[in-house]
Structure 1
Amino acid sequence: MNLPTTAAGVHATLANAFNTGDVNTVLSMYDFNGIIVPEPGKAVSGRASFEEAIQAILSIKGKMEIKTVYCLQTGDIAVGRSEWNITDGEEVKVTAKGIEVMKQQEDGSWKVLIDHAFGALENLVA
């Protein structure tokens, strides 16, 4: 399992792990004390909820691509903005714009503390 050693590497590592079905790497990239928003309006936390959200995304057949729009870091905290999609050939299964808060771990790797997968959508109402 190769976890990212830079905050800017989190998106690429996540996409690669999803595309290879590497559930363990995906799960290891999250801080379960944080929050994941697997669908608009549904924020969850805790290991069981994270696992359920990850399994739901992994069940979507296709290729995940994550484009890093920006990644701003100060010390051991970073915020990223992403544009991501899952496609199957020409068919777009999911497309969204996300916001992620990441925290550097003691071993130098980075974990996602808050993953708002749809947090940058224009019509999102909190």
Structure 2
Amino acid sequence: MSNDHNASSLPRAMQPEDCSRILIAALESGDLEASVSVYEENAILFKKSGEPMTGLDAIRTSNAGLIGMKPKFTIDFIQATISADGTLATNRMKADLSWTDKEGKMKQGSVDTLEVLRRQPDGSWRYVIDDPYGSMRAGMTQRQPA
């Protein structure tokens, strides 16, 4: 897939759940810019270790690494809750995934996300905080580097 985008050609999340769908489609298709387009400029993305990465450059680097593993996702559910004033939302997404490790072997895992999103001036939604393991953290016994 071509990664040549101008701002108007990038997908827009018109519902909070769309951010998760757009991100997954972009990661699976190798579209780095679309994968970053669903984040605010100073958004935070958490590594599996729990360490936060801040800003689009860090998120772009992280997403490029994930794209390189050729991930395939199977979404179990995406659940959004929108604040009473309609400006903030949370998403929870549970998904299974498979990917190719550095030795070329297929691996499997899952994510159970916790995401905070903000409605943008154009009515679309973007991530402010994205923790792919957020709903799993209390049960994670080992902290491994991402």
TM-score (norm 2): 0.75
More strand by share: 1
> Could you report, residue by residue, the CA deviation over 1:42-65 in whole angstroms, capped at 9, with x for unpaired residues?
211022211111112111123123
State how far apart, in whole Å, the 2-side matches of 1:32 and 1:39 are. 21
State how far apart, in whole Å, the 2-side matches of 1:32 and 1:124 are. 29
Identify the residue that residue 14 of structure 2 maps to in structure 1.
5
State how far apart, in whole Å, the 2-side matches of 1:55 and 1:16 are. 14
Change (3 A) 1:66 1:38: farther
- Unpaired runs of 5+ residues, structure 1, are none
Bigger CA radius of gyration = 2
Q: What amino acid is the match of 1:119? A: G
Is 1:18–1:26's contact at 8 Å kept on the other side of the alignment?
yes
* In the alignment, structure 1 residue 86 sits paired with structure 2 residue 97: yes
The number of residues matched between the two structures is 125
Identify the residue that residue 44 of structure 1 maps to in structure 2.
53
RMSD between aligned residues: 2.2
* Percent identity over paired residues: 21
Is 1:3–1:25's contact at 8 Å kept on the other side of the alignment?
no
State how far apart, in whole Å, the 2-side matches of 1:55 and 1:38 are. 14
The structural deviation recorded for 1:92 is: 4.3
TM-score (norm 1): 0.85
Q: Displaced runs of 4+ in structure 1, greater than 4 A?
A: none
